[in-house]
């Protein structure tokens, strides 16, 4: 069976962009793949974290994985730092990575600017190498992620190809898997920026655990335009196009059909229906989350997941050490 791997950082405020860009695919892929889903706490510490909050956020993401429908009977769910192979492989890959290629990563450029003269942590620079280690450690075939991770997948493939060129058969070549709609959900208050966990305005995003009243407020306030026509045109109508993408990915109705449905009607009707669809989609997730988050079962699932993940990781590391001539 082919293998899927993906991860989400435990940094709070998991939102609709994370869901439509990544988590929704995690669930669908379980039918046909052996799936490994990780909570990437070592990626989270590339920027400063409060240790107590980080621990809670790890369990939050784990509970959300299960709440959206990741099934621990089928898939492996675990915390990155529980499997030492990630750090070990990351170092080995570091020695085959180049300053130039890492300097070109847009996420690094974004995250390292505007730091008010503060130093830039090396971990932020090495972030894509750790991500490549995550993926290659599990002989991954497919990586479901949002569009913002495209460059990181490419560098992972470059590293795998470079090393396989020297030491054939060391790594399985992975491929990115991006959803058709929803791969890049934009901020509701500013559709030129992507929806993010860290934006100050809470109405810029819909968090997966938002109450119906908050969802309604955020959508009704969402930036549109003055043209009054529900039409998909990212360049000229980024706000409406973003709402159409959300509507389409949550409902499964195509964008063309939605354009027809709302022809000659204003944004009010369109937004009201979108509120209903979003509330209905998120209500069961919130309910399951409440049931799981503080259950004793959650940590057991993660412990068992780490054991299973570690068994795969150890096999890969044996092969990698052999390829590189490391150890006895
Ligand atoms: P992160 O929160 O950065 O760990 O991201 C977790 C997953 O959500 C990754 O696969 C991202 O590509 C995806 N993601 C994050 N923000 C968005 C967004 N605004 N639209 C679509 N996917 C996103
Ligand atoms: N960098 C990803 C993000 O921020 C999270 C991540 C870390 C990841 N390791 C991964 C995603 C491996 C897919 C595969 O969204």
Residue-wise pLDDT tens digits, 225-249:
999 999 999 999 999 999 999 999 9
Cα–ligand 1 centroid distance for 12 (angstroms): 12
Confidence (pLDDT) at 180: 86
pLDDT digits (tens, 9 = 90+) for 252-266: 999 999 999 999 999
β strands within the chain, DSSP E: 3-8, 34-39, 76-79, 142-144, 175-177
CA 105 to chain centre: 17
Coil, strand or helix at 196: coil
Does residue 117 carry a pLDDT above 90? no
Span from the CA of 59 to the centroid of ligand 1 (angstroms): 18
**For the chain, how many residues are written?**
328
Of 21, 26, 42, the one to substitute when testing ligand 1's pocket (max ligand atoms within 8 A of C-beta) is 21
For the cut 90, the answer to whether the pLDDT of residue 43 exceeds it is yes
CA of 271 to the centre of ligand 2 (A): 32
Predicted local confidence at residue 63, as pLDDT: 98
Catalytic residue among 55, 113, 194, 237: 194
pLDDT of 174-214, one tens digit each?
A: 999 999 888 899 999 999 999 999 999 999 999 999 999 99
Which class would CATH give 202-290?
mainly alpha
Summarize pLDDT for 295-310 with one digit per residue, the tens.
Answer: 999 999 999 999 999 9
74 touches 302 (CB < 8 A)? no
Please confirm, yes or no, whether 111 is among the known catalytic residues: yes
Answer CATH for 3-183+296-324 from 3.10.450.40, 3.40.109.10, 3.20.20.30, 3.40.50.620? 3.40.50.620
- The model's pTM: 0.97
Domain residue ranges in the chain? 3-183+296-324, 202-290
């Amino acid at each position: 069976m082919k293998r899927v791997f993906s991860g989400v950082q435990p940094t709070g405020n998991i939102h609709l962009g994370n869901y439509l860009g990544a988590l929704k695919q995690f669930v669908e892929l379980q039918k046909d793949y052996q799936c490994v889903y990780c909570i990437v706490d070592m990626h989270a510490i590339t920027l400063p974290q409060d240790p107590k909050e980080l621990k809670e956020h790890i369990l939050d993401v784990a509970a959300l994985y299960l709440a959206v429908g990741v099934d621990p009977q089928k898939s492996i769910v675990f915390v990155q730092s529980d499997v030492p192979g990630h750090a070990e492989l990351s170092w080995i890959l570091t020695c085959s990575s180049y300053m130039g290629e890492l300097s070109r990563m847009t996420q690094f450029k974004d995250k390292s600017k505007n730091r008010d003269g503060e130093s830039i942590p090396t971990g932020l620079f090495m972030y894509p190498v750790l991500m490549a280690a995550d993926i290659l450690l599990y002989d991954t075939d497919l990586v479901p992620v949002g569009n913002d991770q495209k460059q990181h997948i490419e560098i992972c493939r470059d590293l795998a190809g470079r090393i396989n060129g020297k030491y054939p058969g060391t790594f399985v070549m992975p491929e990115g898997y991006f959803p058709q709609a929803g791969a890049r959900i934009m901020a509701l208050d500013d559709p030129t920026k992507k929806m993010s966990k860290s934006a100050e305005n809470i109405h810029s995003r819909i968090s997966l655990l938002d109450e119906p009243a908050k969802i309604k407020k955020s959508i009704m306030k969402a930036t549109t335009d003055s043209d009054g026509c529900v039409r998909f045109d990212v360049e000229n109508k980024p706000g409406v196009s973003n709402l159409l993408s959300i509507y389409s990915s949550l409902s499964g109705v195509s964008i063309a059909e939605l354009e027809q449905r709302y022809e000659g009607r204003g944004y009010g009707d369109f937004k009201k229906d979108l509120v209903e669809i979003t509330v209905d989609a998120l209500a069961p997730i919130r309910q399951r989350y409440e049931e799981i988050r503080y259950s004793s079962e959650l940590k057991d699932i993660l412990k068992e997941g780490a054991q299973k993940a570690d068994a795969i990781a150890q096999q890969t590391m044996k092969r990698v050490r052999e390829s590189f001539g490391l150890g006895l």
